[in-house]
Amino acid sequence: MSHQQPGWGQQPYTSEPPRNGGPKWAQKRVAIPAGAGLFVVGLMVGAAGSGDAEITATSKPVPTVTKTVTAQPVEPAEDKADDKPAEAEKSGESKKETDGEQKVPDFVGMGLQSAQDTAQEKGFHSLKSHDSTGRNRFQAFDRNWKVCSQNVKAGRPAPTDTTLDFGAVKLEEKCPASDAQVPEAAGGKMPDLAGESVKAARSVLDSGTSITVTDAAGSRMVLLESNWKVCTQSPSPGAALNGQPVEFTAVKFEESC
């Protein structure tokens, strides 16, 4: 028996009986194009995504936590100042010292060089010294001299620009009870210069005075006048000074006239 082949435009027909005995409509296979399947899967994924978005949008908001901080009381500034009056007073004293005033140390008995170093450490930089014996010797090497007196009393506050003057003698000498004072040519009269060093005697006369010094014990040259003392003088003490020449005889201090 011959079967007729299906022609063009006709759908194929399957005469296979149902396997499970269910309704024919449930067992019928339906061919779905490949593009349609992808479309269905996309719809399912989109639906799932929109559902998540809807859940996120409608979720409950996170509650805000508020922390309360209690402010601490601030101590008044004036109370702090009242608590430390001693510190303020001390600060004032330090400021006074640094503002150019210091207590003058006790320099008596110190070596002249050490006294000068100590004075400079305290801020006193205007320093000078003189011969306490009145011989008007120059302190060439300060370490060879010691301090016998000072012009500003020890412990007294003084501006640091004050000039400190030290009376000194050589280390092997004894300090005099007070600094020897060389007589001055007061009132135009010749002072009594016997026993004074030739250098000191020259210093009290006018710088233009002509002075001649000779050795009273021989014919030695009087070179270092601070080591020589006056034995005789002309004019005599009390004579008027009118510019006349002055003559001295002298010997060394360890010698007798």
- Residue 75 is given by DSSP the state P
Asked if residue 181 has pLDDT above 60, the reply is: yes
Looking at the chain, the number of H-run helices and the number of E-run strands are 6, 8
Cβ burial 203-227 (10 Å sphere, 16+ → b, else e): ebbeeeeeeebebbeeeeebeebbb
Amino acid identity for residue 195 in this structure: G
Spans of all domains in the chain: 98-170, 186-252
At 144, list the tokens: 């060879």
Residue 102's nearest CA partner among 77, 130, 126, 136 is 126
Residue 250 has pLDDT above 70, yes or no: yes
Give the confidence band of 99 by pLDDT, cuts at 50, 70, 90.
Answer: low
Bridge partners (DSSP) listed for residue 230: 250
pLDDT band at residue 67 under the 50/70/90 scheme: low
Q: What is the mean pLDDT of the chain?
A: 78
Q: Which residues does 146 contact at the CB level (< 8 Å), separation at least 6?
A: 109, 110, 111, 112, 168, 169, 170, 171, 175
Do the strands 101-103 and 157-159 form a parallel or antiparallel pair, or are they unpaired? antiparallel
Q: Tell me how crowded residue 146 is: count the other CB atoms within 10 A of its CB.
A: 24
Neighbours of 44 (CB within 10 A): 9
Instruction: Tell whether the model's pLDDT for residue 255 goes beyond 80.
Output: yes
- The predicted-structure confidence for 120-177, as pLDDT tens digits, reads as follows 999 999 999 999 999 999 999 999 999 999 999 999 999 999 999 999 999 999 999 9
Confidence band, pLDDT 50/70/90 cuts, at residue 58: very low
Q: What CA–CA distance (Å, rounded) separates 206 from 249?
A: 19
pLDDT band (50, 70, 90) for residue 79: very low
Segment (H or E) for 54: helix 34-57
User: Could you confirm whether domain 186-252 is CATH 3.30.10?
Assistant: yes
Closest by CA position to 190, among listed 135, 225, 230: 230
Q: How confident is the model at residue 92 (pLDDT cuts 50, 70, 90)?
A: low
| Cα–Cα distance, 51 to 58 (Å, whole number) | 11
Radius of gyration from C-alpha coordinates of the chain: 61
List Cβ neighbours of 159 (8 Å cut-off, separation of 6 or more). Answer: 100, 101
CA 40 to chain CA centroid, nearest Å: 88
Return the bridge partners of 170, or none: 145
Token pair, residue 256, equals: 């007798």
| CA-closest candidate to residue 105, choices 116, 89, 91 | 116
Do the two domains 98-170 and 186-252 of this chain adopt the same fold? yes
Residue 228 is encoded by which pair of tokens?
Answer: 């020589």
98-170 CATH: 3.30.10.20
Instruction: Report angle CA 24, 25, 28 to the nearest 5 degrees.
Output: 85
8 Å CB contact between 159 and 211: no
**pLDDT tens sequence across 195-214:** 999 999 999 999 999 999 99
